[in-house]
């Protein structure tokens, strides 16, 4: 497997799931756990982006006259949006939230999360807010595509683990 510094790059390389039948069960579990960890982090970043998009959407709606509350008045509702679907929190499977990336400016997520748009919101025009919102939406689409790829990797590894348990006439446990 080609060396890569980023975990997401490693787990999305075709070599990561090629020849799974030849890999020891312990290594399969490690790869599944790594991929699940990366997927949790991508999901967390997506939620951060959704929060920012929700704030910008609200501000655009307010400026167009579709909302009378100030952003500050609506903030708790805006930030809670999407965190719960039905009766269950959507991020309940994450035991420890991944760290927010430091602002090194090298990765796109760093630039998106530290673009200063929210701090400058009162001074921005509607067009500038709309442009910032579109950039966030573009990046969210990229993260969503990566997340789908990660799910495919997780499913493929889990399928091999289950196949091995079945071949040994065992029953897969919750921890696999």
Domain extent for 75 = 7-85+114-167
Task: Please give the model's pTM, rounded to 2 decimal places.
Answer: 0.75
Report how many domains make up the chain: 1
Beta-bridge partner residues of 88: 85
Is the residue at 17 inside a domain?
yes
Q: pLDDT tens digits for the chain (176 residues)?
A: 555 578 999 999 999 999 999 999 999 999 999 999 999 989 988 988 898 899 999 999 999 999 999 998 998 888 887 655 555 544 444 455 555 444 454 565 666 666 677 788 888 899 999 998 998 999 999 999 999 999 999 999 999 999 988 888 655 565 55
CA distances from 55 to 70, 80, 92, 126 (A): 11, 11, 23, 13
Kind plus residue range of the DSSP H or E element containing 119: helix 117-120
**Is-contact 122 62, C-beta < 8 A?**
no
Residue 91 has which token pair?
């991020």
Is the residue at 69 inside a domain?
yes
Is the residue at 79 inside a domain?
yes
Is the residue at 91 inside a domain?
no
3-state secondary structure of 77: helix
Is the residue at 137 inside a domain?
yes
Count of CB atoms situated within 10 Å of the CB of 16: 18
Of the candidates 92, 111, 90, which has an alpha carbon nearest to the alpha carbon of residue 102? Answer: 111
Is the residue at 92 inside a domain?
no
Kindly tell me the burial class for residue 31, based on how many C-beta atoms sit within 10 Å of its own C-beta (0-12, 13-18, 19 or more).
buried
CA-CA distance, 59 to 8, in Å (whole number)?
A: 33
Is the residue at 26 inside a domain?
yes
Is the residue at 100 inside a domain?
no
């Amino acid at each position: 497997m080609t060396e890569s510094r980023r975990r997401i790059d490693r787990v999305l390389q075709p070599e990561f799931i090629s020849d799974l039948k030849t890999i020891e069960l312990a290594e399969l579990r490690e790869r599944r756990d790594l991929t699940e960890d990366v997927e949790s982090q991508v999901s967390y970043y997506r939620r951060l982006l959704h929060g920012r998009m929700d704030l910008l959407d609200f501000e655009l709606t307010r400026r167009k006259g579709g909302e009378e509350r100030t952003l500050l008045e609506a903030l708790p509702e805006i930030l809670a949006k999407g965190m719960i679907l039905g009766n269950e929190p959507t991020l309940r499977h994450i035991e420890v939230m991944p760290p927010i990336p430091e602002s090194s400016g090298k990765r796109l997520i760093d630039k998106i999360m530290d673009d200063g748009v929210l701090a400058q919101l009162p001074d921005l025009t509607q067009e500038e807010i709309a442009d910032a919102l579109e950039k966030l939406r573009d990046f969210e689409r990229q993260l969503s595509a990566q997340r789908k790829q990660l799910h495919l990797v997780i499913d493929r590894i889990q399928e091999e683990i289950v196949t091995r348990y079945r071949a040994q006439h065992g029953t897969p446990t919750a921890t696999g």
